[in-house]
Amino acid sequence: MKIFRGFHHPDIARACALTIGNFDGVHRGHQAMLALLNSEAAHRGVDSCVLTFEPHPRDYFAGALRKPDLAPARIGTLRDKLTELQRCGVQQAVVLPFDARLAAQPPQAFIDDVLVRGLGARYVLVGDDFRFGAQRAGDYTMLDSAGQHLGFDVARMNSYEVHGLRVSSSAVRDALQRGDMAAAAGLLGRPYTISGHVVHGRKLGRALGASNAGADDGFRTLNLRFAHWKPAASGIFAVLVHGLGHAPLPGVANLGVRPSLDPADVNGGRVLLETHCLDWPADLGPEGAYGKIIRVELLHKLHDELKYDGLDALTAGIAKDCADARAYFASAHAPSDTETRRQTTRDRI
């Protein structure tokens, strides 16, 4: 998939089948829309293209109005969004900066400058609640009328439902905020995942719970920065780690701001996903994971972030979290009662 910041690039597709949106989470409704987009692009012999925005428009207006509560919790990072778009077969993604100029652009100017001259849209697919342009004045009817005059087709896709529930980014956020990871996975069509480069921290974890003084074999963590200040999920989770050159590794992770640590920490004020592999790969050594791109699946929430009174209490808390994560994985891999009965029957036969 080709990725462009803006549309003023010589190697951008000259014509495309286009859809427009934030695509936070790239959930099952998005996936259905992208499958239709790819089909229409192939039918027309053009590239499929997603136009998305960074920051999220509601983030921009929250900052402009100094009302941070207006900003939505973020499901995924830009990296994760682009990864999922590529997995869905999209051929081109255009990330458009959402700023004051774009916020003030009239709907017709957006159609003329962005859709027609900028992206060469031959087909535009939007959701049933799509609005665009300054004051959200543009709608499907206006877009369809413009398409008839300017030579591009316009289609609208209705809401996507699973078991009677409308699949939306808001529904995914609600599930993540409740800590219902199974519900989130059902809406996403996959486990909730965060990926990124492993970055350096204070390396405090490796000293906590170390086997002896001066050892660094305690709770080593893989640290990923979550670029947005307001993640949809937070707390302590049982996780699987991909990307270290091994089979997926079970672990326990903290997603949040680490309230028990010094605000002067090197990553102070940043949202981090800190993951401790329950069985650290010996071949990595203490430094071998830095700079690697890993993918962490958050499978089960253990509890919210807690503030501990001192490092001893923090160490004991992490040890309990590790024990609880091990219990979760043991339970997840244990055969069900039905499977046990079937095995007993086979053994008797």
- Render pLDDT for 66-79 as a digit per residue (tens, 0 to 9): 999 999 999 999 99
Question: Is the pLDDT score of 267 beyond 60?
Answer: no
Question: Is the pLDDT score of 33 beyond 90?
Answer: yes
- For 263-277, what is the mean pLDDT? 76
Q: Quote the CA–CA distance of 114 and 330 in Å, as a whole number.
A: 53
Question: Is the pLDDT score of 51 beyond 90?
Answer: yes
Structure confidence at residue 338 (pLDDT)? 43
Structure confidence at residue 341 (pLDDT)? 42
Q: Are 230 and 335 in contact (CB under 8 A)?
A: no
- Secondary structure, 3-state, the chain: CEEEECCCCCCCCCCEEEEECCCCCCCHHHHHHHHHHHHHHHHHCCEEEEEEEECCHHHHHHHHCCCHHHCCCECCCHHHHHHHHHHCCCCEEEEEECCHHHHCCCHHHHHHHHHHHHCCEEEEEEECCCCECHHHCECHHHHHHHHHHHCCEEEEECCCEECCEECCHHHHHHHHHHCCHHHHHHHHCCCEEEEEECECCCCCCCCCCCCCCCCCCCCCCEEEECCCCCECCCEEEEEEEECCCCCCEEEEEEEECCCCCCCCCCCCCCCEEEEEECCCCHHHCCCCCCCCEEEEEEEEEEECCCCCCCHHHHHHHHHHHHHHHHHHHHHHHCCCHHHHHHHHHHHHC
- For 126-132, what is the mean pLDDT? 93
- For 327-334, what is the mean pLDDT? 86
Percent of the chain whose predicted confidence (pLDDT) is above 90: 73
Question: Is the pLDDT score of 116 beyond 70?
Answer: yes
Q: Quote the CA–CA distance of 15 and 47 in Å, as a whole number.
A: 7
Q: Quote the CA–CA distance of 344 and 338 in Å, as a whole number.
A: 10
pLDDT-based confidence at residue 268 (cuts at 50, 70, 90): low
Structure confidence at residue 345 (pLDDT)? 37
Question: Is the pLDDT score of 227 beyond 90?
Answer: no
Nearest to 18 by CA among 124, 146, 91, 96: 124
Q: Which two tokens stand for residue 17?
A: 């089948």
Nearest to 196 by CA among 134, 136, 276, 275: 275
Angle (deg, nearest 10), helices 181-188 and 169-178: 160
Side chain identity, residue 282: A
* Other CB atoms within 10 Å distance of the CB of residue 196: 20
Highest mean pLDDT among 189-198, 249-258, 282-291: 189-198
Kindly report which listed range (21-25, 148-152, 259-263, 297-301) carries the lowest average pLDDT score: 259-263
Q: Give pLDDT tens digits for 86-102.
A: 999 999 999 999 999 99
For residue 176, CA distances in Å to 22, 84, 292 come to: 18, 18, 26
pLDDT-based confidence at residue 50 (cuts at 50, 70, 90): very high
Structure confidence at residue 297 (pLDDT)? 98
Structure confidence at residue 239 (pLDDT)? 98
Structure confidence at residue 270 (pLDDT)? 82
Question: Is the pLDDT score of 348 beyond 50?
Answer: no
Give the global pTM: 0.88
Kindly report which listed range (157-171, 248-262, 320-334) carries the lowest average pLDDT score: 248-262
Structure confidence at residue 334 (pLDDT)? 62
Q: Quote the CA–CA distance of 87 and 70 in Å, as a whole number.
A: 31
Place of tokens 């010589």: 10
Q: Quote the CA–CA distance of 209 and 19 in Å, as a whole number.
A: 51
Question: Is the pLDDT score of 163 beyond 90?
Answer: no
Kindly report which listed range (52-66, 185-199, 212-226) carries the lowest average pLDDT score: 212-226
